[in-house]
Each structure stands twice: as C-alpha cells, then as structure tokens.
Amino acid sequence: MKLILLGPPGSGKGTQAERLVARHGLVQLSTGDMLRAAVAAGTPVGLRAKDIMARGELVPDEVVIAIIADRIAQKDCAKGFILDGFPRTVPQAAALDRLLGDKGMKLDAVIELRVNEGILLQRVETRIAQMRARGEPVRADDNAESLAKRLDAYRSQTAPLVDYYAEKGSLMTVDGMMSIDEVSAAIARILSAAARTSATPARKGKKSSSASRPSAKKAAKGGKAAKKSRKAAKKPAKPAGKKPAAKGTKKAAKKGGAKAKSKAKSAAKSKSKTVRQKATRKGAKRARR
C-alpha cells in the first residue's frame, strides 16, 4: 500500500501516519522528520535546510526529491509506505510520479485531511505543551510566526496538489475536524476499499480506477464518523476528479452519430466543470470559516 497524507500543518498527518505504521506495518516517510534529523546531524542537507525550516518556508524541491528518491529505493519500502509531508509542491508530485513509474509502482490513495484553519494554531500550541510536558525539545518552527508562514506556504504551494490528484482520480478527502479515532476509522474504510479494488481484476474495457468508485463511495458512507465527515466536508472519501457522466450523456451517445456523440461530450464537460467550480467555491467557503 502506497499512500500520501495531504494536509496543512497541524491537520493530524503525523498522528494518522503513526497509527497506520502500527496497524499495517507500513513505513512512514516524513520529509520533515528526515530534514530535522539532517539538521541535528549537521549534514550538508541539514545545514542548507536549517534556517529555511525555522522560518517556516519550504526547502528547495531538488533537496527533498533527492531525499525521497534515496529513501524509496531502500528495501523496507518495497512493501509499502506512507508519505507524510511529501509532496508539497506540484514539481515534487510530478517527480514522485516519475520515481514510482520507474519502479513500476503506483499510489493506492492520496488522502487529504481537511481542517478549518482556525483550529491549527490551537493544535500546534497543544503539541508544544505536550512536548514540553514530555521533556522533549520543541521544534524551531512551532511558534505563531513560523506557523503563519507554513500556512501561507501550504495555501500557495501545496493546496494545488488537491486539484492535481483530483484530476488523476486518486484524491480522497476526510474531515480532519473529527476526533483522531474517527479520522482513523474513515482512513481505514478508504484503505480497505482501495485494497478490495486492487484485488479485483479490472473488467475488459473498463478502467480499474472507475471500478474503485463504488467501493470507495461505500467506504465513505459507512459509520457515524463518515456521516459527520460528509456534513463538514460534503464530499469526503470520494475521488474528486473523475465525475460521473452528465445525465443523458450515455443516452445521447447510444443514439449514435458523430453529432450526438459530440453533444454528449460537451454536456459532460460543462457539467463536470460546474461540479468542480461548485466544489472550489465550497472549499473556499470552508477555508474562510
């Protein structure tokens, strides 16, 4: 199983990744942790990244891409991994596509943890208090000023990945405002739906990605957590990019003839655009809340 957890700082990616490691024996690949280790060890990468990280800015793409390329090539990643904090830019996502393609691997799911920004500072403050209570050193970027920068970086450089993966049909959204257990349950449903899909041989003439839709939908529907998730995030745990064809589209295409087919095509196009525009407006509304 190869997954990406996508979400702003404080959305719970690290916590959920740790749970997935414990439950599924996957390897957690956190570029933040790797960079912090490099800073602590004083390696050339660490020296380059130290001040950038403390300011809450993103480390250059080529640095993190090289780190991930090395790490994915290691034996323990063959079984599966969770990318936590990578990719964070579209060029990083494109590099990951190439890296996985070269190894004949593919992503099973990209899970976006959607949260209201208002809660993030509070969550980071809680994390600082917990680290202090455990006697652990507090991260250099866990302060209000750096958090504001990290959120800016997320909005401008990482949020476009939501559309990037939605277009590919691999994005699933979970309401990250739910309790930790509820988020874990929603993720577990997504993963078991994805596992069922990859175990089902694709029918002739049918793309396996479209075959995943019914089970993913079912996964999203099950349980109280998903109900809450739907309420807040409206379309949780549902591939966002590949919309069903507009009503009447298939009928028109069936009638045959180039004219009917092109009519059907443009109907589907305009419908999918509207749905996407609606989703974008809803997303912006949620972000403002």
Contact status: 150 vs ligand AMP (CB under 6 A): yes
45 is a site residue for ligand AMP (CB under 6 A): no
88 counts as catalytic? yes
35 binds ligand AMP (CB under 6 A): yes
d(CA 13, CA 123): 12
Among 3, 11, 6, 21, residue whose Cα is nearest residue 180: 11
Rounded Cα distance between 85 and 40, Å, is 19
Helix residue spans in 81-207 (DSSP H): 90-102, 118-133, 144-153, 160-168, 180-199
CA 234, distance to chain mean position in Å, is 17
Closest residue by beta carbon to ligand AMP: 32
**Least distance to ligand AMP, CB of residue 142, Å:** 9
- The CA distance from 110 to 31, in Å, is 16
What is the SS3 assignment for 243? coil
- Number of chain residues interacting with ligand AMP (CB under 6 A): 17
**96 touches ligand AMP by CB under 6 A:** no
**For ligand AMP, what does the binding mask look like between residues 209 and 248, x meaning CB under 6 A?**
----------------------------------------
Q: Which of 2, 36, 50, 88 is catalytic?
A: 88
Q: What is the DSSP letter of 10?
A: T
Distance (Å) of CA 217 to CA 8, 180, 287: 25, 21, 24
Is 52 one of the binding residues for ligand AMP (CB under 6 A)?
Answer: yes
Say whether 289 is catalytic.
no
Between residue 4 and residue 23, which ones bind ligand AMP under the rule CB under 6 A?
9
Of the ranges 80-88, 96-104, 124-132, 263-271, which one interacts with ligand AMP (CB under 6 A)? 80-88
In whole angstroms, the minimum distance from the beta carbon of 59 to ligand AMP comes to 4
14: left (phi over 0), alpha (psi -120 to 50) or beta: alpha
Catalytic residue, candidates 2, 13, 19, 36: 13
Q: Which stretch binds ligand AMP (CB under 6 A): 82-90, 120-128, 175-183, 276-284?
A: 82-90
Q: Least distance to ligand AMP from the beta carbon of 283, Å? A: 22
230 as an active site residue: the answer is no
The site map against ligand AMP for 100-119 (x = CB under 6 A) is: --------------------
| Rounded CA separation 86/101 (Å) | 17
Tokens of 95: 């590099």
Beta strands (DSSP E) in the chain are: 2-6, 27-30, 81-84, 109-114, 171-175
Which one is catalytic: 50, 150, 189, 238?
150
Active site residue 55: no
Residues that are catalytic: 13, 88, 127, 139, 150
Interaction site with ligand AMP (CB under 6 A): 9, 31-32, 35, 52-53, 56-59, 64, 85-86, 88, 92, 141, 150
